[in-house]
Amino acid sequence: MAVEPKRPDPDDLLKKVQEEEARAKRARLKIFFGMAPGVGKTFAMLQEARIRMNEGVDLVSGVVETHGRADTMALTEGIEVLPKRRLPYRGVQLEEFDLEAAVWRIPGEKFKNGQPQSVHLPAAMVELLRGRQRNKSEWVFPGGGRTGHAVEPRKPWENLLKRARLNDLRIHDLRRSLGSWMASTGTNQAVIGKSLGHRSQATTARYTRSTLDPVRHGVDTAVAAMLEAARPKPKE
């Protein structure tokens, strides 16, 4: 009597696939060693970086010290470099890697224009993210699905609006609210555009225009009153 082979458990197969996908996405650390300063460690790293960029890898640099060498500086062209921290020291401004910066860098593949975007995370957001670490997951919003994390926020967003008793509010409206509040608190147009990832100043101008509406109204009202006061009065 033939014994039928045991069929694999679908849940076990799914778990293995998820583990393999997680391993494939896991970052790898590669260290370049050199026996002495100036032997070409930075040059070799930048050469490999350019190879990876040509392969379509989204690449960003934290710190590159070229020591003024022209050939090394040439390799940095086109490589995005994170903003450095400036420190005053004995009358000189020094630059170093900013370990305290809270920046969320979103790969260009997530945007229509293909350009990556760096988003500053305010202190309140950093505190919330630290609180989320208690879930012992690599994801901010873990889920029970195939990806292991929440994918579509539509249902949680609907529940949030229901609890807050709000109607007709989209997630994108929060982004617009940030731009409007930045403009109303005195942030200039260039900084607002950079914060929101705008490529055109015309896109950002809508926020600064909104803050000028009360100014326009005030000026128009005052000028109308001045003209009215200056208008010749009819003789009695």
Give pLDDT, residue 210: 67
Q: What's the pLDDT score for residue 124?
A: 84
**So what's the pLDDT on residue 46?**
92
Structural domain boundaries in the chain: 100-141, 171-231
Instruction: Answer yes or no: is pLDDT of 154 > 90.
Output: no
Q: What is the pTM of this model?
A: 0.57
Question: Quick one: pLDDT band at residue 61, thresholds 50, 70, 90?
Answer: confident
Mean pLDDT of all residues in 124-138: 81
Q: Quick one: pLDDT band at residue 161, thresholds 50, 70, 90?
A: very high
Mean pLDDT over each residue of the chain, to the nearest integer: 81
DSSP H stretches of helix in the chain: 10-25, 41-54, 70-75, 123-132, 154-164, 171-184, 189-196, 201-230
Q: How far apart are CA 201 and CA 193, in angstroms?
A: 7
Query: Which two three-digit tokens encode residue 157?
Result: 């967003």
Report percent pLDDT > 90 for the chain. Answer: 6
The answer for residues whose C-beta is within 8 angstroms of residue 50's C-beta and 6 or more apart is: 75, 79
CA distances (Å), origin 130, targets 6, 32, 137, 151:
45, 32, 12, 21
Calculate helix-pair angle for 201-230, 189-196, nearest 10 degrees. Answer: 150
Confidence of residue 163 (pLDDT cuts 50, 70, 90): very high
Least reliable range by pLDDT among 3-12, 52-61, 102-111: 3-12
Encode pLDDT of 62-102 as tens digits: 888 888 889 989 998 888 888 788 888 788 888 787 777 77
pLDDT-derived band at 5, boundaries 50, 70, 90: low
- How much is the CA Rg of the chain, to the nearest whole Å? 28
Write out pLDDT tens, residues 31-60.
Answer: 888 888 788 888 999 999 999 888 888 888
